[in-house]
A = this chain, B = another copy of it.
């Protein structure tokens, strides 16, 4: 009933071997905790700060591998899509299509994702007010899509910084939407390391606890066996060795907050 949803996985598919290893370790954790979860990984980092950054495997191979992982582990999978074409390809394999925050205002991408019949998770743009997601919802609903989520991932706050407004979770849910909190990208420091995006991974569980206590329907958290060696967003990812403990704490806060007074 009130179990929160966890969207977990590494930032990017660093290799086929890597992604299987991570998925199987996460699957074992999720099973032991009886977690309601979705496995996440990106096949392409299409908006890296710098041209020299690692991009990924591409949509076809990436989605094929994710689908195999989903079947093997019996878990829904999600990935981010960057164009209508990619949305169509991904939808053949992927349960939950994720729309990146920078692209959350691109009407064609939203409509195509909605038309695939898959569930859609739209990351709220860093430039967007919470109540403005209503326009995105209406674009999705116009395609017949009823199974969609919004993800809070922080708002532009001066230069090279994001702030998470916890009121946003409340306001979006008050509009009737299901809301995920992205603990990983909310602690980014955009452009903060010159040619890569910095951040502070030890703050991800802090903000995740805050979001669950404020009230949300789930938590998105990137995790990596060795964040310091991650190809992308390393500084913000939670070490896999911490995930069980972090998730369990969040689930207990969720229970406390959602139980009858």
- Chain A residues close to B by CB (< 8 Å): 46-51, 55, 82-83, 102-103, 105-108, 111, 125-132, 135, 138-139, 142, 155-161, 163-167, 170, 187, 190-191, 195, 200, 203, 206-207, 209-215, 245, 249, 252-253, 256-257, 261
CA distance A107 to B126 in the complex (A): 18
CA distance A49 to B132 in the complex (A): 8
Contacts beyond the supplied A48-B107, A158-B161: 11 A-B pairs with Cβ under 8 Å: A46-B106, A48-B105, A49-B105, A50-B138, A51-B138, A103-B103, A103-B106, A131-B191, A166-B210, A167-B207, A209-B257
Instruction: Tell whether, in the assembled complex, residue B261 and residue A135 are in contact, meaning their CB atoms are under 8 Å apart.
Output: no
Kindly list chain B residues whose C-beta atoms are within 8 Å of the C-beta of A261.
Answer: 245, 249
Instruction: Tell whether, in the assembled complex, residue B164 and residue A165 are in contact, meaning their CB atoms are under 8 Å apart.
Output: yes
Instruction: Tell whether, in the assembled complex, residue B128 and residue A190 are in contact, meaning their CB atoms are under 8 Å apart.
Output: yes
Q: A102-B105, A249-B261, A256-B252 are in contact. Are A210 and B214 (CB under 8 A)?
A: yes
Could you list some 24 contacts between A and B, CB below 8 A?
Answer: A50-B135, A50-B139, A51-B107, A82-B108, A102-B102, A102-B106, A103-B106, A125-B127, A128-B190, A129-B160, A135-B195, A155-B156, A163-B163, A164-B165, A166-B206, A166-B210, A167-B187, A167-B200, A167-B203, A167-B206, A209-B213, A213-B213, A245-B261, A249-B257
